[in-house]
Structure 1
Amino acid sequence: MDKFRVVLNIANKQSNLGFGLLALMTAGGEQIFSSVVFSCPCNELNFIYGLVFLLVPGLALLLLGYILNKKTWKLLTGFCQGQAKLCSCRTAVTVLFQINTTALVAPFTWIAVALLSGNYYECLMTGTKISPVQHLCERNHSKVPCENLHRFPCRGTSVRQTDREDVLLALKAQSQILGWLLIASVMLSSLLLTCLARCSSPISYLQLKFWRAYAQEEGELIESYTAKNAKELAQRNLQSFFHQKQAEPILTPSTKDWEKISSLYKFSTKGQFYSTLHRYVETREECEDGMMRMASIVSSESADDHPAVLQFVDDCTFPV
């Protein structure tokens, strides 16, 4: 799970590289799983057994993707604690779509690789009695009904070896066709969505690269700063407890401050902020003069909802 979390974090920060690593890791796991664990029972359980091995691991990977994505808990915590007003429904739907995009990489890879190998599909289809499979079986057996079709994935059937192999080859071909169609459809959908996001981007390509670099750096630094300051606070408390002396004061952000930087970021052209933390720093109240310091860069344009092209802004940037 730790390796999956690392690759998922990379996928959030570097989309192309991370998705590639995640897909390769899932494909390798499927190959090992298929060769070591999978064994078609060759009885009336063929359909259920093959279906479970084809879809259930994909479902498990989908749920794991949701669990390990910090943005999931960021969105859920905000709604459960009544902070939904911090972002519009359109922004929440956009963020949910971004979470699904990352979480669906591993399940689609698993199903596509499983279909290309053909083992699960062969076991699944030999456990059905649908007419196409029966017709395929009878055609390869000179109109002789295939009563032992569920035994085809295993050896020891009364059917001739060549006839059995013909049926299995036909089923494997169908499985591979479905696998390539799934891969092509996913790639085409990804291309179209990327083009749509780029065309609707409210900022230039170079600023988008700068924003992406900033989001990545801020995410890494906030992890280290959080660990460092938490360690200092824990050390102070332990020293005060064991030495029975007055603890030195340590300034920590208030609950409202944490809420401000932990909310989902909504892009707005009124203020050129690159994250909720940036917005908090630029607009927080000055204690010395009691005045609210406004952002250094302000635009007269109207506010926009979080565009899809800026999906990296909240990607695992802040701790849960």
Structure 2
Amino acid sequence: MSRFLSSFQKTIADVKGSIINSAIVAGTVAFEELLNHAVYYCPCIEPSELVGPCNSSTSNSRYSRYECTPSLNIVYGVVFLAIPALVLFILSVAAHPSIWKICTGRSRTVRAKKDKTCTTCLGVIARSLIAPMSWVSYGFLDGKYFACCMTPTPYHISSLTNYKTCQDVAQLSSPAYSDAYRDNRSLSQIIGWILLGIIATLSLCLYAVSRCCHPLTYYHAKYYDLYRMHEENEFDDEMNKKAQLHAEENVKKFMSKHRTKALWDRISTIFEFHRNRDEIALYSYLHEFILEEEKEPGNRSNSIATNASGMTMDTVM
């Protein structure tokens, strides 16, 4: 049993990246399906509202001229394909810590290393394209958005039914779509499969090139990734423990004496990060006040004893 569990854990660790990517794709597809059922509604237009050659019986086919398609339909389809993909891309980029390590509080000399910065940004962008490309590919495979864009009258209105207007047909749980809409939806599915094949091929090629350019061998690179992951986790755990201990000490010191209203007002105002004259990072006005109080002649000996025991982070952080 232990061997089975060990083998299972090793397998999960080996395919962890693939599992995460698959989860992103599955979540994107599920969200798109939910959006289709909840808010999708291709705009209506009556055939009589199409003027000129667009009002002919042949204009509502896949061979229609693009100018016959109402602008609202075009905007609606493009927005449903492009805007969610853009939002997913932005969220994916923002979720990568590497971007914030580059942007947050770095000196000009560090920012000058453009080669490392560009490489990191390209890697983050490549990984962040998984969700938006999944959205666009599945949108074409579903076909509703493209068909809505390209079809002048997407709904089939028959005088033999009880539904006389486009709005009546569109509000049905299963709307009756026109032949042109179904043709354009089939065309969208063809585009979707082609796009999916191109994305898969390019992804494999780019991944292969990135692995070939990697300075480490397979197992060395694997160890490198594992070490970075565990170091990050350990660092987060230690920072959490140290920060909690540091905050508890400062609060206890403040609450151990009677404080005036002026001091309560001071620690209650909005804080902006800064350093004191000794270049010690200050994390709050409470932290700043405790450091000032410890510098007073009567409290200096206690402060030295506390720092010697390693219980504060003032000299470290």
Same fold (TM over 0.5): yes
How far the C-alpha of 1:84 sits from its partner, in A, is 3.2
CA-atom RMSD in angstroms: 2.9
Which of 101, 125, 130 is residue 105 of structure 1 equivalent to?
130
Which of 13, 31, 34 is residue 32 of structure 1 equivalent to?
34
Flag the structure with larger Rg. 2
> What TM-score do you get using the length of structure 1 for normalisation?
0.61
Q: Which position in structure 2 is the counterpart of 1:84? A: 110
Which of 65, 75, 82 is residue 48 of structure 1 equivalent to?
75
Percent identity of paired positions between Structure 1 and Structure 2: 25
Q: Which position in structure 2 is the counterpart of 1:156? A: 157
Task: State the AA in 1 paired with 2:40.
Answer: F
Q: How many residues align?
A: 218
- Per-residue CA shift, 1:108-143, capped at 9, x if unaligned? 1111111111111111112xxxxxxxxxxxxxxxxx
Give the match's secondary structure for 1:112: helix
1:212 to 1:35, Cα distance in 2 relative to 1, 3 A: same
Using the alignment, how far apart are the partners of 1:234 and 1:23 within structure 2?
41
1:254 to 1:21, Cα distance in 2 relative to 1, 3 A: farther
Question: 1:1-320 to 2 correspondence within 5 Å?
Answer: 14-43=16-45, 44=70, 45-77=72-104, 81-85=107-111, 88-126=113-151, 149=152, 151-152=153-154, 154-156=155-157, 165-244=178-257, 248-249=306-307, 250-252=311-313
Question: Which deviates the most, 177-186 or 25-34?
Answer: 177-186
CA contact (8 A) 1:42 1:123 kept: no
CA contact (8 A) 1:117 1:176 kept: yes
- Per-residue CA shift, 1:237-264, capped at 9, x if unaligned? 1111111386643343868xx8xxxxxx
Using the alignment, how far apart are the partners of 2:314 and 2:125 within structure 1?
32
CA contact (8 A) 2:99 2:124 kept: yes
How far the C-alpha of 1:169 sits from its partner, in A, is 2.3
How far the C-alpha of 1:22 sits from its partner, in A, is 0.7
How far the C-alpha of 1:224 sits from its partner, in A, is 1.4
> What TM-score do you get using the length of structure 2 for normalisation?
0.62
Q: Structure 1: which 5+ runs fail to align?
A: 1-12, 127-148, 259-320
Using the alignment, how far apart are the partners of 1:30 and 1:14 within structure 2?
24
Task: Identify the structure with bigger relative contact order (alpha carbons < 8 Å, sequence gap 6+).
Answer: 1
Q: Structure 2: which 5+ runs fail to align?
A: 1-14, 46-69, 162-168, 170-175, 258-298
